[in-house]
């Protein structure tokens, strides 16, 4: 079975491929010749993941899954949410995004937040897409700590931990993180389908 992961991040593709049975081959967008920017214009994280997966299925006729992730901060009514990557502007500058978030949280006592990843799977067995959701609850700290990871990792501390995502080994982050949880559900689903 061949399935497309709607990403050009080869590390993500390898990571998922390593977790799947050898009978399932994961392809990237590059592998199928998809060079265009796939639109992400939905108003929810699940909607964006679904939009990407359906675009590939409709235009390239491959079974496909896509993910979308957002950071949702309680005191900011769920911001940055779907705008997490471009919170401080369309250039997707990680440093500016973190700075804007810390500035917007100044003086607020509630710093609880959660990362949410949704994976949408399209084109397998049923006409209806299947969604897998992973959530990691935590809080936003006052200043950056750690050099690992990406995005908001240096200012996000998972609940019940004393380190930010950026201070943790990748294996720890993956075992407790939002993306790891969603991918685990996807893998279980594909393995059962393939059994």
- Chunk the chain into consecutive blocks of 10 residues (it has 195) and report each block's average pLDDT, rounded to whole numbers: 89 80 90 92 95 95 93 98 94 94 97 97 80 97 92 96 94 89 90 75
pLDDT tens readout for residues 91-132: 889 999 999 999 999 999 999 999 999 999 998 666 688 999
Structure letter (DSSP) for residue 35: -
Helix intervals (H) in 20-119: 45-60, 94-104
- pLDDT at residue 125, rounded to an integer: 61
- Given this model, what pLDDT does residue 17 score? 84
- What pLDDT sits at residue 62? 92
Which one is catalytic: 68, 93, 153, 160? 68
Structurally, at CATH architecture level, domain 2-194 sits in Alpha-Beta Complex (3.90)
Residue 13 confidence (pLDDT): 85
Give the tokens for residue 144: 């950056």
Is 67 assigned a catalytic role?
no
| Residue whose entry in the numeric block shows the structure tokens 């214009």 | 41
Q: Would you say 180 and 134 are in contact if contact means Cβ atoms under 8 Å apart? A: yes
* pLDDT reported for residue 195: 65
Q: How far apart are CA 162 and CA 73, in angstroms?
A: 19
Q: Are strands 64-73 and 130-140 parallel, antiparallel or unpaired?
A: unpaired
Task: Give the tokens for residue 38.
Answer: 């796939």
Alpha carbons 41 and 51: distance in angstroms, whole number: 8
The pLDDT value given to residue 46:
96
Give the pLDDT of residue 126.
62
* CA angle at 47 for the pair 46 and 52, rounded to the nearest 5°: 100
69-98 CB burial, b ≥16 within 10 A, e <16: bbbbbebbeebbbbebbebbeeeeeeeebb
pLDDT attached to residue 185: 93
Task: Provide the pLDDT for residue 113.
Answer: 98
């Amino acid at each position: 079975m061949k399935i497309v992961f709607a990403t050009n991040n080869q590390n993500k593709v390898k990571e998922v491929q390593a977790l799947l049975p050898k009978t399932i081959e994961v392809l990237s967008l590059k592998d199928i010749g998809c060079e265009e920017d796939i639109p992400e214009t939905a108003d929810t994280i699940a909607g964006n993941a679904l939009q990407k997966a359906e675009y590939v299925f409709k235009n390239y006729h491959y079974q496909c899954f896509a993910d979308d992730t957002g950071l949702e901060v309680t005191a900011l009514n769920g911001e940055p949410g779907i705008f997490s990557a471009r919170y401080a502007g369309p250039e997707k500058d990680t440093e500016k995004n973190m700075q804007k978030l810390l500035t917007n949280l100044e003086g607020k006592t509630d710093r609880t937040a959660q990362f949410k990843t949704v994976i949408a799977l399209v084109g397998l067995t049923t006409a209806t897409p299947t969604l897998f959701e992973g959530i990691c609850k935590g809080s936003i700290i006052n200043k950056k700590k750690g050099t690992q990871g990406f995005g908001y990792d240096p200012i996000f501390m998972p609940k019940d931990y004393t380190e930010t995502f950026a201070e943790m080994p990748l294996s720890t982050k993956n075992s407790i993180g939002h993306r790891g949880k969603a991918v685990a559900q996807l893998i279980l689903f594909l393995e059962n389908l393939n059994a």
